[in-house]
Amino acid sequence: MNIEEYAWNNHEQKIKEKYGFSYSSPKIKIVDNIELRNQIEETLEKLPQKFLAKWALNVALEHLDHLDQQLVNDPRITLGIETLEKRINGDIRAFDLRKVGFIVNELAKESTTEASKYAARSFAQAVASGHMRGHAMVSSDYAVKLVNYISNKSSVAAMATKERERQLRIAEELL
């Protein structure tokens, strides 16, 4: 795959060309299965950005049912999905996507529960993956953070592993 397919952002293209692949660290505190997280990153590295963005959206959409009741049918969700799809199809610029990303991010700010905040942040980061690849892993980490939050204390690690396995299946389907 050529560098323009790998990343749409010039900064990420230059980093890829200069340094190649390296694992990222979560930007948030989570209980996680690091081996599976690394495996996901290795798999995502093989995907062009448009498929990476589709992956991130699929990861996040699964958890939108955890949004607060007043946000579940919010039109900003549809706006985020449609705008990301337009970006994936090359119909809009990154600038236009970023404007919508800020609007979508307000869902997290308006959330009253932690579960809703994490679901909304996962979704907002998924939308932002149409701008920069790095947002995709942040989106998936917020999905794990949500699973950490809603799990019983005794099953947090097992549920994180289950979520990472789901995320890996989605990525493998896109290959």
**Quick one: pLDDT at residue 102?**
97
**38: confidence class by pLDDT, cuts 50, 70, 90:** very high
Neighbour-count burial of 49, counting CB atoms closer than 10 A to its CB (0-12 exposed, 13-18 middle, 19+ buried): buried
**Quick one: pLDDT at residue 103?**
98
CA distance 111 to 144: 18
Cβ-proximal residues to 54 (8 Å cutoff; 6+ apart), any chain: 88, 174
CB 38 within 8 A of CB 165: no
Average pLDDT over residues 44-62: 98
pLDDT digits (tens, 9 = 90+) for 59-106: 999 999 999 999 999 999 999 999 999 999 999 999 999 999 999 999
Q: Which two tokens stand for residue 30?
A: 């989570």
CA distance 150 to 121: 15
Q: 87-98: b or e for each residue (b if 16 or more CB lie within 10 Å)?
A: bbeeebeeeebb
